[in-house]
Amino acid sequence: MGSNPIGPTNSGGPGTGTLGTEILPDNHVHSQWSHDTGPDASMAAACARAVALGLPSLAFTEHLDFTVAGPADPITLAGVVPNTSAGIRPLDVPGYLAAVAECRDRFPALGILSGVEAGEPHLFAASAAAVLGSGRFDRVLGSVHALPTAGHLVYSGWLLRREPPDEVMRRYLAEVIAMIEGSGVFEVLAHLDFPRRYWPASAGEYAESAFEEEYRAVFRALAGSGRVLELNTASPLPSVSLLRWWAEAGGTALSFGSDAHLPWHVGARFRDASGIAAAAGFRPGRDRLDFWRR
């Protein structure tokens, strides 16, 4: 959700190594079917970009967010008002799945997975389950974008401007644990530390070490559930040390996701990301569409 600051490049750089893009599936891509993409978003153009880069596959994980909660959703039972200020609209499941089928016909050599990025699925459990039960979704990401604050669900990027950033970050990582423990619908944890994208300069340089305890707690919960950590390249790239914390917690799988909201962001910074992952001991999986594993 929100801006994607990555430019149209997949060039190498420090830590790049010699790994090729043909072993780097992009497991987090948005198209015109997500509510926060603009007129230049295009599923077909994203596929063409992936083919040009030599990527083996894309997962179109469109946003699954809710502005109205159902009576059985935990957010309703908690008396928290959903976020209604971010232009969120329902996912058109039939239209989206038809577009996926069309792209599969048009790009037969490219693996194309259907999917969603479920926002706060632990708070919208019944609503999310109803949508996921309405079609086939190959890949489901779980993400936290907003935090319960004073009876409302508030976008975490906004909170960084209203509250001490370190407190927002700790609240955010605690909410990620709540999502892991409160929802079983997702396979991959998307953008582990999302507010880091919007870290204010006034707070000084972001230091992973300042939140090591909180990161490790997230990793223990995620590894204990047998799920996968995403290396999101629209966010500041993690350190090798952070990925080693994931491994030390028992994490065995890593997914690469550009979080592209425009076609030319597909696969952005994947070579740099793969260098970091390799330095932390992760390697390509069983086949070219698999997650990376230790």
Give CB contacts under 8 A, 24+ apart, made by 210-218: 210/166, 211/166, 211/169, 211/170, 211/173, 212/245, 214/169, 214/170, 214/173, 214/174, 215/173, 215/242, 215/245, 216/245, 216/248, 216/249, 217/173, 217/177, 218/173, 218/176, 218/177, 218/180, 218/189, 218/192
User: Does position 5 have pLDDT exceeding 70, yes or no?
Assistant: no
User: Does position 115 have pLDDT exceeding 80, yes or no?
Assistant: yes
Burial class (CB in 10 A: 0-12, 13-18, 19+), 120: buried
User: How confident is residue 23, by pLDDT bands cut at 50, 70 and 90?
Assistant: confident
Query: What top-level class would CATH report for the domain 22-293?
Result: alpha beta
Domain residue ranges in the chain = 22-293
The DSSP 8-state label assigned to residue 294 in this structure reads -
Q: What is the reported pLDDT for 103? A: 98
Query: In terms of pLDDT, which residue wins out, 67 or 4?
Result: 67
User: How confident is residue 87, by pLDDT bands cut at 50, 70 and 90?
Assistant: confident
Q: What is the reported pLDDT for 85? A: 75
Dihedral of the CA atoms 159, 161, 162, 168 (nearest 10)?
A: 40
What does the pLDDT look like over 137-190, one tens digit per residue?
999 999 999 999 999 999 999 999 999 999 999 999 999 999 999 999 999 999
The DSSP 8-state label assigned to residue 67 in this structure reads S
Dihedral of the CA atoms 236, 166, 254, 12 (nearest 10)?
A: 10
DSSP-assigned beta bridge partners for residue 76: none
Q: What is the reported pLDDT for 253? A: 98
What does the pLDDT look like over 118-147, one tens digit per residue?
999 999 999 999 999 999 999 999 999 999
User: Does position 17 have pLDDT exceeding 70, yes or no?
Assistant: no
pTM of the complete model: 0.92
Q: What CA–CA distance (Å, rounded) separates 113 from 286?
A: 17
